[in-house]
């Protein structure tokens, strides 16, 4: 009988009553809970809770009963107000200033023909109901000032009488964006950004996420900034409790630029300078209104701000696509989209990654700090005041000199070296991605195809679990005992490691080492004598079964997994967006390959987001070692990037070292199990000869969907692989013959996707 009762209880729990989606969001915000906190408590992803609050999906057991219990308890604490016209309760987090709540905004008018036209021009997921509009919320003030770690102050009060409030319109029958767009959170009812466009009558409309369209009354750029901060309800919740909320982002189309007195394009001189001239009339307008620009001026990405007052941050960011703010390598054809489509692309990226603050590389770097802030609020002192203190696990607030071996050429710590001195492996840490190739063997030439497989988010997967140095400087040690748990750089001779006999797992295996690249150099060549390596590279030599005896090292005793949250955020963004494109997790190998076939053509806007996420991962890691730029720099002088605590070439080296050794570990496991060796490797792509044209002709999956442990696995998750491309062996032989010169073998992985070899490659 008890089993029957349990079954009945489970049946009831599977239909636990829940409030409407907008009420779920209200209750969470009323208790100052973030999406991350709710997701962690229920054991789901942040995006999943956001989908529950937008109405896109519903909770399923076992989370449904727990979520319903949370909603019931919050509803008892924060009962819904009667519809009496009274202002809603301010739901700012505890400790923030709350002023009088604003009056409820008027009901939005019916969509106009212009709105319907804008909506009709955008694809919508078939059969999916529209995303419900975000509920009215208090007007947020700018996020907390960067100078303090205290929570952001969000005063809410009625808009000044001298400024007309904006009119919000959301198309009913058709949305301006697809239904899989995440919903905004916190007190920012209109989301993180607007794309501004002007019509022939010079009327400006702002396109946001979820189909939102706002009438923008501002007549000048200074007035636009004021309107954004006072009335537009734009911004995004902080990603960490000790961080700050994201500044609102305005994206100006060419027509909007001209409406506000800006050129549609920069002149050649301005383009080279990366900014509008300081004497431009719009910049003078900003100055007269007491607005300031950062040192990078008014360029493709610009910040307009006033000094923080009373803990309130006043800052608006501009993005101008016609000034090449959206790099084609990361954003594809995004700059050519209409305003509603562009709002969707940037809005999804903002909600899943963060509000863009520049290029994807800059955003990737800023995301590290947003998820792992350097300071936090201390406990109250004797007077009850709090102050900023170092947050354990972060990189701190001060820049740090690298170890000499980690410094890039021209760094001030190398100023003592003679001019034109070239550092070799014994002086310089050289951890880079693979660029290795070899000639095909006779047996490989007898096969029909060359198949390329590519690792998803290889650098992101390598960042996950990476133990790196934190806020303390490197310590020099002579004759150290190697410790795989200690991040740093080690001078050690690894030339004795013989790939013909290595440990794979716990067993010694005999392999054809000549057909494998060395795991210790990016060229794949066997090292000669002592060289500097990051900890993961030396640890891999030990894993292969060989002893190591470092001569010296620069180590960092204070360490931690600084990048774990960064990886998880980008991993979820990538996987969720791939799911929007029909490529889900936990597919069988055959199902995955079928889902990947033409996936980018299913929804072009989400395909742009996928590429932007991938470039955010790669660019963010690259920015950790940003080199000097500009004609005025001289070796030995500092450059601006060195002033950042996130200028950390040692962290970049550790991630790339892990990515390269991860790649080698998988190739080694495949070779030991099947006798199949790579022909070429370029970063995260490996090319194999095979009798068939697909990855399943390379990777040995059995009938149960299992493959070689520790080797490549097909799937969408970071670290798993997808099909990069297939060409014939005859094509490969022709490319090797055409491009091979001076004993160097052409890297077929560079051309495997399309098979195209340009005149630049051939030198013709």
695-738 confidence digits (pLDDT tens): 999 999 988 889 999 999 999 999 999 999 999 999 999 999 99
Strands (E), 15-59: none
- What does the pLDDT read at residue 632? 82
Q: What is the pLDDT of residues 259-272, one digit of tens each?
A: 999 999 999 999 99
Integer Cα distance of 542 and 179 in angstroms? 51
Tokens of 327: 């790099």
Question: What percentage of the chain's residues is helix, strand, coil (to nearest 5)?
Answer: 35, 15, 50
Nearest in space to 331 (alpha carbons), one of 251, 413, 441: 251
Integer Cα distance of 730 and 756 in angstroms? 14
Band (26; pLDDT cuts 50, 70, 90): confident
Integer Cα distance of 750 and 739 in angstroms? 12
- What does the pLDDT read at residue 761? 63
**Mean pLDDT across 486-509:** 95
**Could you give phi then psi for residue 341, rounded to 5 degrees?**
-65, -40
- What does the pLDDT read at residue 759? 55
- What does the pLDDT read at residue 93? 33
Q: What is the mean pLDDT of the chain?
A: 85
- What does the pLDDT read at residue 763? 54
- What does the pLDDT read at residue 558? 96
More confident residue, 31 or 418: 418
Band (40; pLDDT cuts 50, 70, 90): confident
Percentage of the chain beyond pLDDT 90 is: 70
- What does the pLDDT read at residue 743? 75
- Write b or e for each residue in 512-549: b if 16 or more Cβ atoms lie within 10 A of its Cβ, otherwise e: ebebbbbbbbbebebbeebbbbbbbbbbbbebbbeebe
Integer Cα distance of 586 and 716 in angstroms? 8
- What does the pLDDT read at residue 692? 97
Nearest in space to 359 (alpha carbons), one of 318, 315, 327: 327
Integer Cα distance of 493 and 241 in angstroms? 45
Peptide linkage before 510 cis (omega within 30 of 0) = no
Q: What is the pLDDT of residues 279-319, one digit of tens each?
A: 999 999 999 999 999 999 999 999 999 987 766 779 999 99
Given a cut of 80, whether residue 191 has pLDDT beyond it is yes
- What does the pLDDT read at residue 60? 86
More confident residue, 55 or 487: 487
- What does the pLDDT read at residue 320? 98
How many beta carbons lie within 10 A of that of residue 227, not counting itself?
Answer: 23
Band (339; pLDDT cuts 50, 70, 90): very high
Q: What is the pLDDT of residues 587-622, one digit of tens each?
A: 999 999 999 999 999 999 999 999 999 999 999 999
- What does the pLDDT read at residue 10? 60
Band (164; pLDDT cuts 50, 70, 90): very low
Just give the CATH number of 2-77.
1.10.260
Question: Among 71-80, 317-326, 673-682, which stretch is predicted with the lowest mean pLDDT?
Answer: 71-80
- What does the pLDDT read at residue 108? 37
Judge contact between 98 and 156, C-beta under 8 A: yes
- What does the pLDDT read at residue 7? 60
Band (129; pLDDT cuts 50, 70, 90): very low
Helices 564-580, 360-371: inter-axial angle, 10-degree rounding = 120
Instruction: List 720's β-bridge partners, or say none.
Output: none
Band (28; pLDDT cuts 50, 70, 90): confident
Judge contact between 276 and 232, C-beta under 8 A: no
- What does the pLDDT read at residue 216? 96
Integer Cα distance of 617 and 574 in angstroms? 10
- What does the pLDDT read at residue 259? 97
Question: Among 36-50, 131-145, 383-397, which stretch is predicted with the lowest mean pLDDT?
Answer: 131-145
The secondary structure element, H or E, covering residue 101 is none
- What does the pLDDT read at residue 712? 97
Judge contact between 749 and 686, C-beta under 8 A: yes
- Count CA atoms closer than 13 A to 599's CA, side-chain side: 24
- What does the pLDDT read at residue 4? 60
Nearest in space to 151 (alpha carbons), one of 361, 313, 363: 313
**Concatenated DSSP letters of 149-215:** -SPPP----PPPTTSPPPPEE--SSS-SS-TTSPPP-TT-TT-SEEEEEE-TT--EEEE-GGG-EEE
Cα 335 to the center of its chain, rounded Å: 19
- What does the pLDDT read at residue 89? 32
How many beta carbons lie within 10 A of that of residue 295, not counting itself?
Answer: 7
**Mean pLDDT across 239-249:** 94
pTM: 0.78
Band (180; pLDDT cuts 50, 70, 90): low
Nearest in space to 316 (alpha carbons), one of 256, 255, 235, 370: 235
Integer Cα distance of 338 and 649 in angstroms? 40
Band (98; pLDDT cuts 50, 70, 90): very low
Integer Cα distance of 351 and 183 in angstroms? 8
Integer Cα distance of 309 and 146 in angstroms? 11
Q: In what order do the strands lie in the sheet with 552-555?
A: 475-478, 552-555, 488-493, 530-534
> Can you tell me whether residue 54 is helix, strand or coil?
helix
- What does the pLDDT read at residue 636? 92
Percentage of the chain beyond pLDDT 70 is: 83
Strands (E), 208-321: 213-216, 249-252, 292-293, 301-309, 312-319
- What does the pLDDT read at residue 143? 34
Q: What is the pLDDT of residues 70-79, one digit of tens each?
A: 999 998 888 8
Band (141; pLDDT cuts 50, 70, 90): very low
Integer Cα distance of 419 and 385 in angstroms? 53
The H-assigned helical ranges of 600-758 are 604-623, 649-674, 729-739
- What does the pLDDT read at residue 9? 61
Domain limits of the chain?
A: 2-77, 113-358
């Amino acid at each position: 009988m008890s089993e029957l009762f349990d079954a009945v209880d489970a049946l009831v729990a599977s239909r636990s009553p829940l409030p409407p989606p907008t009420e779920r969001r209200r209750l969470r915000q009323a208790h100052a809970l973030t999406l991350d906190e709710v997701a962690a408590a229920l054991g789901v992803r942040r995006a999943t809770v956001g989908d529950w609050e937008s109405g896109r999906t519903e909770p399923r057991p076992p989370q449904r009963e727990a979520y319903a219990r949370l909603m019931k308890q919050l509803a008892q604490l924060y009962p819904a107000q009667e519809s009496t016209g009274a202002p809603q309760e301010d739901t700012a987090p505890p400790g923030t200033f709350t002023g009088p709540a604003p009056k409820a905004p008027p009901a939005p008018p019916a969509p106009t023909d212009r709105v319907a036209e804008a909506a009709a021009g955008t694809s919508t997921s078939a059969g999916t109901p529209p995303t419900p509009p975000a509920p009215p919320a208090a007007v947020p003030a700018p996020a907390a000032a960067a100078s303090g770690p205290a929570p952001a102050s969000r005063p809410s009060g009625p808009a000044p009488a001298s400024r007309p409030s904006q009119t919000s319109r959301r198309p009913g029958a058709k949305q301006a964006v697809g239904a899989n767009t995440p919903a905004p959170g916190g007190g920012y009812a209109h989301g993180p950004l607007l794309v501004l466009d002007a019509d022939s009558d010079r009327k400006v409309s702002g396109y946001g996420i979820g189909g939102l369209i706002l009438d923008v009354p501002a007549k000048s750029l200074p007035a636009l900034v004021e309107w954004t901060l006072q009335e537009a309800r734009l911004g995004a919740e902080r990603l960490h409790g000790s961080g700050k909320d994201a500044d609102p982002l305005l994206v100006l189309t060419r027509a909007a630029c001209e409406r506000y007195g800006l050129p549609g394009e920069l002149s050649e001189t301005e383009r080279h300078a990366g900014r509008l001239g300081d004497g431009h009339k719009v910049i003078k307008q900003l100055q007269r209104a007491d607005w300031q620009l950062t040192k990078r001026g008014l360029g493709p990405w610009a910040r307009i701000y006033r000094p923080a007052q009373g803990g309130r941050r006043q800052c608006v960011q501009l993005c101008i696509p016609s000034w090449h703010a959206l790099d084609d390598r990361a954003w594809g054809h995004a700059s050519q989209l209409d305003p509603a489509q562009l709002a969707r692309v940037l809005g999804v990226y903002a909600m899943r990654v963060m509000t863009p603050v520049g290029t994807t590389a800059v955003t990737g770097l800023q995301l590290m700090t947003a998820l792992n802030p350097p300071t936090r609020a201390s406990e109250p002192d004797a007077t009850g005041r709090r102050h900023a203190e170092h947050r354990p696990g972060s990189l701190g607030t001060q820049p740090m000199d690298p170890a000499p071996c980690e410094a890039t050429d021209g760094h001030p710590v190398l100023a003592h070296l003679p001019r034109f001195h070239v550092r070799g492996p014994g002086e310089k840490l050289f951890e880079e991605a693979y660029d290795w190739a070899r000639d095909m063997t006779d047996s490989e030439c007898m096969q029909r195809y060359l198949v390329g497989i590519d690792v998803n988010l290889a650098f992101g997967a390598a960042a996950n679990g990476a133990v790196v140095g934190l806020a303390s400087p490197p310590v020099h040690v002579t004759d150290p005992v190697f410790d795989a748990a200690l991040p740093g750089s080690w001078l050690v001779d690894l030339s004795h490691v013989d790939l013909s006999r290595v440990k794979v797992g716990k067993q010694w295996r005999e392999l054809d080492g000549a057909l494998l690249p060395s795991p210790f150099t990016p060229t794949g060549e066997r090292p000669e004598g002592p060289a500097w390596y990051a900890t993961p590279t030396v640890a891999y030599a030990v894993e292969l079964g060989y002893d190591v005896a470092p001569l010296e090292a620069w180590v960092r005793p204070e360490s931690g997994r600084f990048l774990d949250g960064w990886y998880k955020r980008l991993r979820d963004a990538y996987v969720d967006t791939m799911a929007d494109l029909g490529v889900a997790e936990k597919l069988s190998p055959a199902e995955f390959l079928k889902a990947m076939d033409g996936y980018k053509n299913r929804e072009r806007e989400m395909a742009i987001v996928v590429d932007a996420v991938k470039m955010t991962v790669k660019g963010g890691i690259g920015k950790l070692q940003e080199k000097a730029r500009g004609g005025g720099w001289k070796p030995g002088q500092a450059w601006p990037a060195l002033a950042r605590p996130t200028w950390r070439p040692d962290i970049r080296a550790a991630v790339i070292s892990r990515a390269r050794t991860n790649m080698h570990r998988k190739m080694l496991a495949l070779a030991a199990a099947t006798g199949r060796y790579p022909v070429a490797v370029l970063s995260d792509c490996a090319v194999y000869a095979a009798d068939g044209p697909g990855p399943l002709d390379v990777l040995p999956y059995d009938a149960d969907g299992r493959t070689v442990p520790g080797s490549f696995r097909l799937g969408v998750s970071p670290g798993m692989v997808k099909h990069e491309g297939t060409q014939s062996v005859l094509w490969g032989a022709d490319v090797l013959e055409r491009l091979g010169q001076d004993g160097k073998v052409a890297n077929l992985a560079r051309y495997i996707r399309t098979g195209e070899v340009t005149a630049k490659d051939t030198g013709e």
